[in-house]
C-alpha cells in the first residue's frame, strides 16, 4: 500500500528505536529483575540524564502535545465523530508488581466502581512477581473491567530478543489470553518497548488491539522523543516482503503522560500532576480525540495508598469532563465496526 505523510509519522517510520547499552547490560545480567521497583525508577531517571543532549535530529517529537499526524490526515474530522460524547477516555493500568496485583488492582477497582467507571488492566501472564488467578480475572471481566496482556514477562528483554523469540513471546501471551477466555486479545508492550516487528507478530497472532504507542514520549529510555503523533486509534502498518501492510488490529495510543513519568521523571507534586492531566485532557477534548491513560496499581506509583486521594481526584476530573469512557475491548470492537480495516 501507498504510505501517506500521516502514515509515515503515525507509524514512527522516521524513528529508530535505541534501547540503550546500559539498559541492555542491566537486562542481560538479569539485574533489572532484582532491582527493587522504586530504585529501578531512579535507575531509569539516572539513565535519562545520561542520554545524549537533545539535538535537532533527536528532538523528533514535541511534548506533551504532538498530533502532527492528525493535522496531516484528511480523515481526522470523520474520526472526531466516532464518540457518543465530545471525546473518548480509556483508563488502563499496567500491573507490574506483586503488590500491584494483590492490593493496588482491587483498590483501583473499588474506587472506579464507586464512581461508576471502568478500566482495562494489563496483566503479565507469566510474571516473576505474581501468579494469575483465573477466577479473579473472570470476576473482573464479569464486573465490566477489561484485561490485556502486558507482554509475556516484564523483564525488559523484549527489544533485545531475536525475531523468533519476539514472535514466540507474543504468541504465548495470546495463548494465555485465550485460556482466560477474555473478551478480546489485547497487548501492552512491557516498558512500551516496541520493535519494528512487533505489530506484524501481534497481527499474525490474531490480537484485536494493541496499546503500546504513546502519541508523544519524552522519557522512556531508548524511546524518548518517539510517538505516533496522533490522539486517535488507528490501524498500524508493518513491512513485509518489501511492501507495507495495514494491520487489522486497532492501535490505541497512550495519549496521556504516565503516572510514572510525572512522578519520577518530572518529579511533580500531585497537584501539578493533576493539572497536567487536566490540561492535556481538555486539549484532547477540544480536538475530539482519545485520552488514553496509564496508571500503575503498584506501590511505587499511583497504587500506593498515599496517592489514592489524588487518583480519586483524577477520576472526578475525568467524570466532570464528560467523555465517553470505554475499555480497550469495547473501543477496538466499535472502531472496527465503524471504520473497518481495509
Ligand atoms: Zn509495565
Question: pLDDT digit of tens for each residue in the chain (342 aa)?
Answer: 899 999 999 999 999 888 766 566 666 655 555 555 545 565 555 555 555 544 445 558 998 999 999 999 999 999 999 999 999 999 999 999 999 999 999 999 999 999 999 999 999 999 999 999 999 999 999 999 999 999 999 988 999 999 999 999 999 999 999 999 999 999 999 999 999 999 999 999 999 999 999 999 988 888 888 999 999 999 999 999 999 999 999 999 999 999 999 998 888 999 999 999 999 999 999 999 999 999 999 999 999 999 999 999 999 999 999 999 999 999 999 999 999 998
**For residues 176 and 126, is the Cβ–Cβ distance under 8 A?**
yes
Ligand 1 centroid from CA 72, angstroms: 32
Ligand 1 centroid from CA 56, angstroms: 30
Ligand 1 centroid from CA 154, angstroms: 7
In angstroms, the CA 100 to CA 142 distance is 20
Ligand 1 centroid from CA 143, angstroms: 23
**For residues 154 and 296, is the Cβ–Cβ distance under 8 A?**
no
Residue 293, SS3 per DSSP: strand
CA atoms within 13 A on the CB side of 298: 22
Q: Which helix (H) or strand (E) holds 233?
A: none
Ligand 1 centroid from CA 223, angstroms: 15
Structural domain tally of the chain? 1
Residue 81, domain extent: 5-338
pTM: 0.92
Ligand 1 centroid from CA 45, angstroms: 16
Query: Residues 219, 261, 184, 80: what is their CA dihedral angle, to the nearest 10 degrees?
Result: -80
Q: What is the CATH number of the domain that holds 32?
A: 3.20.20.370
In angstroms, the CA 122 to CA 92 distance is 7
In angstroms, the CA 192 to CA 207 distance is 17
Amino acid at each position: 500500500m501507498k504510505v501517506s505523510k500521516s502514515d509515515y509519522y503515525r507509524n514512527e517510520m522516521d524513528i529508530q528505536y535505541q534501547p540503550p547499552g546500559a539498559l541492555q547490560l542491566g537486562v542481560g545480567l538479569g539485574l533489572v529483575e532484582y532491582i527493587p521497583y522504586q530504585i529501578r525508577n531512579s535507575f531509569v531517571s539516572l539513565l535519562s540524564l545520561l542520554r545524549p543532549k537533545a539535538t535537532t535530529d533527536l528532538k523528533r517529537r514535541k511534548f506533551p502535545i504532538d498530533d502532527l499526524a492528525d493535522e496531516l490526515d484528511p480523515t481526522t474530522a470523520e474520526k472526531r465523530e466516532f464518540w457518543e460524547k465530545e471525546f473518548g477516555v480509556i483508563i488502563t493500568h499496567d500491573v507490574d508488581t506483586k503488590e500491584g496485583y494483590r492490593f493496588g488492582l482491587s483498590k483501583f477497582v473499588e474506587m472506579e466502581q464507586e464512581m461508576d467507571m471502568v478500566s482495562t488492566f494489563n496483566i503479565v501472564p507469566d510474571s516473576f512477581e505474581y501468579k494469575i488467578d483465573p477466577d479473579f480475572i473472570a470476576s473482573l471481566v464479569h464486573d465490566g473491567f477489561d484485561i490485556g496482556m502486558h507482554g509475556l514477562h516484564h523483564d525488559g528483554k523484549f527489544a533485545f530478543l531475536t525475531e523468533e523469540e519476539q514472535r514466540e513471546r507474543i504468541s504465548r501471551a495470546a495463548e494465555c489470553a485465550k485460556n482466560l477466555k477474555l473478551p478480546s486479545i489485547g497487548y501492552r508492550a512491557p516498558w512500551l518497548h516496541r520493535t519494528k516487528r512487533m505489530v506484524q507478530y501481534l497481527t499474525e497472532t490474531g490480537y484485536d488491539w494493541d496499546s503500546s504507542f504513546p502519541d508523544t514520549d519524552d522519557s522512556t529510555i531508548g524511546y524518548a522523543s518517539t510517538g505516533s503523533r496522533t490522539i486517535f486509534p488507528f490501524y498500524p502498518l508493518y513491512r513485509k516482503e518489501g511492501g507495507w501492510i495495514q494491520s487489522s488490529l486497532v492501535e490505541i495510543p497512550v495519549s496521556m503522560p504516565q503516572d510514572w513519568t510525572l512522578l519520577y521523571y518530572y518529579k511533580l507534586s500531585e497537584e501539578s500532576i493533576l493539572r497536567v492531566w487536566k490540561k492535556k485532557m481538555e486539549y484532547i477534548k477540544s480536538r475530539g480525540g482519545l485520552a488514553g491513560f496509564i496508571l500503575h496499581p503498584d506501590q511505587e506509583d499511583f497504587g500506593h495508598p498515599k496517592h489514592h486521594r489524588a487518583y480519586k481526584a483524577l477520576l472526578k476530573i475525568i467524570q466532570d469532563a464528560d467523555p465517553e469512557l470505554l475499555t480497550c475491548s469495547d473501543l477496538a470492537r466499535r472502531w472496527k465496526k465503524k471504520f473497518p480495516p481495509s
